[in-house]
């Protein structure tokens, strides 16, 4: 892991994050050691390392908390997305406490905050999260199958630990979103759909793999696409799952599901 000094911790929202209604993004890290094979962030222009090295490196902004304390006023009452190109609760956060420090700096300025993660470590910060007036924690749950998860995101937390985190957040009174994004192969479509509908998150969103159509930008690499083929999952399977969910519970699809709390 590399530690760097950054000049800013809040960046003006661009691309689909801006289209979704956010004003700012916040990324305590560059890179992500979860290293999911499908991650679009590996293909963004700001990632100057080889795509095949995604997940093998991490850069932490060691002055992130000090920057947040100085700059939080400029995002007051605006919509902030934490994080857009990394995971704020990847393993390094357990000791660095950068994300927690940023949250503590933001509380008094009352932004409309969305936290996006697949890390159950988020429950550590429930005491701070409960202080926000406009907040949602989105947790990524892309499949119902540990076998599938291990093929696509072997270094990410087990699915049941994410379900546990969702329940703990909800029990603490914190609004939660479930992001089946991207939707990976699902072993029990009906069972997964029922579980999602029964949990009734504040926001439920599905999304198929990113496709940049040869342009520079968010994309999904060939390794993940080949694994879809090997598991016999394609656009028709995705569409059937979406249609099944729609019959049971309110559902957003694609970018439409990523919007600030209170929007």
pLDDT, tens digit, for every residue of 159-178? 999 999 999 999 999 999 99
- The per-residue pLDDT for range 222-245, each reduced to its tens digit, is 788 899 999 999 999 999 999 999
Output the pLDDT for position 215.
Answer: 42
The tokens describing 161, both together, are: 């630990």
Contact between 64 and 101 (Cβ < 8 Å)? yes
Indicate if the pLDDT at residue 214 is higher than 60: no
**The pLDDT of residue 42:** 81
Q: Which residue has the higher pLDDT, 209 or 165?
A: 165
- Cβ-defined contacts of 73-76 (< 8 Å, 24+): 73/109, 74/10, 75/10, 75/23, 75/24, 75/106, 75/109, 75/111, 76/109, 76/110, 76/111
How far is the C-alpha of 76 from the C-alpha of 121, rounded, in Å? 26
pLDDT tens figures, 89-141: 999 999 999 999 999 999 999 999 999 999 999 999 999 999 999 999 999 99
> What's the confidence (pLDDT) of residue 191?
97
% of the chain beyond a pLDDT of 70:
95
Task: Report whether pLDDT(198) > 90.
Answer: yes
Domains of the chain and CATH, by start: 2-257 (3.80.30.10)
**Whole-model pTM over 0.85:** yes
Residue 22 CB neighbours (<10 A): 25
């Amino acid at each position: 892991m590399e530690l760097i000094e950054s000049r800013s911790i809040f960046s003006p929202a661009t691309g689909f994050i801006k289209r979704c209604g956010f004003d700012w993004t916040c990324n305590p890290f560059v890179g992500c050691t979860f290293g999911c094979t499908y991650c679009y962030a590996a293909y963004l222009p700001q990632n100057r390392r080889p795509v095949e090295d995604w997940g093998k490196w991490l850069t932490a902004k060691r002055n992130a908390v000090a920057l947040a304390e100085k700059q939080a006023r400029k995002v007051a009452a605006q919509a902030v997305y934490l994080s857009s190109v990394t995971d704020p609760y990847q393993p390094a956060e357990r000791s660095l406490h950068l994300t927690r420090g940023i949250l503590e700096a933001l509380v008094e300025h009352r932004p409309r905050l969305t936290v996006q993660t697949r890390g159950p470590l988020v429950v550590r910060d429930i005491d701070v999260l409960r202080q926000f007036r406009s907040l949602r924690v989105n947790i990524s749950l892309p499949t119902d199958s540990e076998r599938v998860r291990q093929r696509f995101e072997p270094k990410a937390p087990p699915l049941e630990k994410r379900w546990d985190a969702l329940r703990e957040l909800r029990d603490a009174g914190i609004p939660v979103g479930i992001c089946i994004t991207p939707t990976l192969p699902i072993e029990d479509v009906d069972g997964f759909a029922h579980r999602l509908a029964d949990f009734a998150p504040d926001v439920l969103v599905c999304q198929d793999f990113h496709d940049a159509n040869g342009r520079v930008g968010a994309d999904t690499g060939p390794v993940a696409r080949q694994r879809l083929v090997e598991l016999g999952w394609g656009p028709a399977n995705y569409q059937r799952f979406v249609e099944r969910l729609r019959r049971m519970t309110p559902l957003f699809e694609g970018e439409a599901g990523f919007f600030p709390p209170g929007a």
